[in-house]
Amino acid sequence: MKEEVFIGVDWGGTRIKCGLVSSSGGVLVSKTVSLPKDASFASIVELIVDHVRDLAAKQQGPVDGIGLALTGPVDPNHGVVYLPGKIDGLEGYPLVPRFREVFGTSVFATNDGLAAMFAEKHVGHARSCRYAVAVTLGTGVGSGVMVDGRIPDDPHFMFGTQVGHLVINTSDDRLCLTGARGTGEMNCSATALALAVRSGLQRGIPSRLSETYWKNPHAIDFETIIRDGVEHGDPLCCDELRRWTSSLGWLLVSAVHAYSPEVLILSGGATLAHRHFLPQLKEHVAQSSFRYPKDREIPVLISELKEYSGVVGAAMMCKEKCHD
């Protein structure tokens, strides 16, 4: 019997990733496309359609389904239903019906944090678990939760996706898109570290990144801070990374208290620098989590699926939906 093949699509803020994924979770063919600057919403949708069509043409035989990983609350049979201020045009757009019409196959959508959890459940660190939390660290902070071996459906399309919206710092008066202040997303995303270092540079704190900042403030991103700052022992960058790691620690402790997972799994671009913060993060979670038995280890693991976690997760979600 021929193995089923699905297409997974991960629509991020700056890039579209897609791939042919086997029923067992292997990526057969993959593609990453940077979004053109100032591209219209309609042109981005057409770009995704074209790349999915190219992938489908590479499959010898029919594609068994298409999974879409999207940001925000996502109706699996429609698309993004609520997304204030992020991707203009996506909120309310019938992306799933459009793909079903174009490709004539099963199409379902999910939140990108939930997609990461689907990937870990099927081919990652959560394969032998019943309870797990996946957290994605990138432009924002996403999440997905597995409860009793299932990734629950939710009538409001938000269960398990809101770890990044937990309030962890009430003294932070910056406004999050949720309307709250001091959320995980405001303190623990890759963007949060970049903004903190830029603030220090703006105030004139000495740093080896000062010249780069004054030439182009936006050049000070997470990757630059780690590569050109932390890895050279820059005091400002190291101090802000320490503060960032502490904030992330409190966020994960809150996730432990909310969901009692057997494992915490981190993915996303910021985890490429995990050797600079993971030991301290593990210690924070171990020391500050209330659990029983009190000496129970709560592993904090880095996903092995790297940049295609969302693609694999979207495909595995589609597989589950097709077999329900």
Is the confidence at residue 85, as pLDDT, over 80? no
**pLDDT for residue 87:** 86
> What is the share, in percent, of the chain residues with pLDDT greater than 90?
88
324: confidence class by pLDDT, cuts 50, 70, 90: confident
DSSP track, 34-80: EPPTT--HHHHHHHHHHHHHHHHHHSSS---EEEEEESSSEETTTEE
**pLDDT for residue 62:** 87
Cα gap 148→288, rounded to integer Å:
24
**pLDDT for residue 1:** 62
Mean pLDDT of the chain: 95
Contact 70, 80 (CB under 8 A): yes
Identify the top-confidence range among 40-44, 173-177, 298-302. 298-302
| In the chain, alpha helices (H) | 41-58, 95-103, 112-123, 184-188, 190-202, 210-215, 222-224, 235-259, 278-288, 309-323
Q: Comparing 14-18, 91-95, 261-265, which segment has the lowest mean pLDDT? A: 14-18
In terms of pLDDT, which residue wins out, 147 or 3?
A: 147
**pLDDT for residue 313:** 97
pLDDT in tens, 233-261: 999 999 999 999 999 999 999 999 999 99
Is the confidence at residue 169, as pLDDT, over 70? yes
DSSP track, 173-198: -PBPTTS-BSBHHHHHSHHHHHHHHH
Residue 104 gets which letter from DSSP?
-
Contact 220, 201 (CB under 8 A): yes
Predicted structure pTM score: 0.95
Cα 317 to Cα 57, 113, 173, 213, distances in angstroms: 22, 12, 37, 42
Contact 174, 164 (CB under 8 A): no
**pLDDT for residue 306:** 78
Is the confidence at residue 51, as pLDDT, over 90? yes
Q: Which domains does the chain have, with CATH numbers?
A: 5-118+308-323 (3.30.420.40), 128-303 (3.30.420.40)
Is the confidence at residue 113, as pLDDT, over 70? yes
Cα gap 36→56, rounded to integer Å:
23
Contact 157, 73 (CB under 8 A): yes
**pLDDT for residue 84:** 83
Query: Hunting for tokens 């937990």 — which residue is that?
Result: 166
